[in-house]
Amino acid sequence: MANIRDVAKESGVSVATVSRFINQKGYVSKEAKEVIGRAIKELDYKPNLVARSLSTKQTKLIGLIVPDIMNPFFPELARAVEDVALTYDYTVVLCNSDEKAEKEIHYIETLRQKYVAGFIVTTNQLQASHYQNLDIPVVALDRTIDASIPTVSSNNKEGARLGTAHLIEQGCQHIVCMRGPTGLGPADDRLDGFLEAVEGKEIVTHIIECPFHFEQSEEIARKFLSEHKGIDGVFASSDVSAAGVLKAAHSLGIIVPDELQIVGFDGIALGGMLSPGLTTVAQDIYKLGALVTRMLIKLIEEIELEEKEIQVPVKLIIRGTTRSEQ
């Protein structure tokens, strides 16, 4: 197997020049680039990535930290991140934190020891200072960490307003907002959008805190719907929670959408597979993943960012859990 010295000998240049060419660090003349490139191809040379990482203190690894891989939103997001990263020759390491700070710290420290190039973070378990002190590029997705850390997110407030307004337009008079966890940025924004939509309307509203988990959402919804008669609309802050409401309604004999209309938030593929199909406020999940990955790679490669905060529009997708006409 050819090594860097073989490439240097074949090219007629120094080992240092070949190293600069491979690592893209320092000046290499156009002529040298051409001969080195030919030598690498002819010798079928494969760089020693371990040695390279020890030399440069960096690999082409990206850490993607998600709070809950069981939530279908995050696998769809991870697919987009991986697709885009591969086009730039980066490899993604997926880390599931289970919304636990100690797990997130473990992943961060482990990948730092392996000279990870940067992190995409979709959690908010740690203080902003923890990320700022890493001395490694970090970008936030879906959840703002700090103004100093570049962020890509959806317009959560406007999305919740759209979804709730749709329920009102379809005649709902007694609406429940199954909001996400308090203190979680997207969940707080979606609650604000809900409140904005119902403000000044002659509508009875309830607000329930609910985690983004199917089984817990189902249990919370079943208990609430069985104890409160006359609920005719539910705005859920995630599609997973909305799916839990749909199952709870079915178990209680409540007919959707005739007796209860449901709107979710996320736009995951699962929503279209339910029966009836889930009306939802759809995020452009693939675009979110693609934008945040390109943003991180620019930081890694020391390219100036045109924008440090990007907000992606959302859209309402109407399916079978709401009535199409009123």
Q: pLDDT tens digits for 115-142?
A: 899 999 998 778 888 887 888 999 999 8
- The region of weakest confidence among 198-202, 285-289, 314-318, 322-326 is 322-326
pLDDT for the residue numbered 59: 76
pLDDT for the residue numbered 54: 45
pLDDT for the residue numbered 253: 97
The CATH class that applies to domain 4-56 reads mainly alpha
Q: What are phi and psi of 87, to 5 degrees?
A: -65, -20
User: For residue 48, is it left (φ>0), alpha (ψ between -120 and 50) or beta?
Assistant: beta
% of the chain at pLDDT higher than 90: 68
pLDDT for the residue numbered 15: 82
Most confident of 29-33, 70-74, 124-128: 70-74
Instruction: Give the sheet arrangement for strand 261-266, strand by strand.
Output: 204-209, 174-179, 233-236, 261-266, 279-282, 315-317
Q: Residue written as tokens 């990955």? A: 293
Residues of each domain in the chain carrying CATH 3.40.50.2300: 61-154+285-312, 156-283
The domain over range 61-154+285-312 is classified in CATH as 3.40.50.300 = no
Question: The whole model's pTM is what?
Answer: 0.81
Taking 70 as the threshold, does the pLDDT of residue 319 lie above it?
yes
What is the rounded CA–CA span in Å between residue 266 and residue 14? Answer: 54
**For 241-258, how does the pLDDT look when each residue is reduced to its tens digit (9 = 90+)?**
999 999 999 999 999 999
DSSP 259: T
The domain over range 156-283 is classified in CATH as 3.40.50.11260 = no
Residues of each domain in the chain carrying CATH 1.10.260.40: 4-56
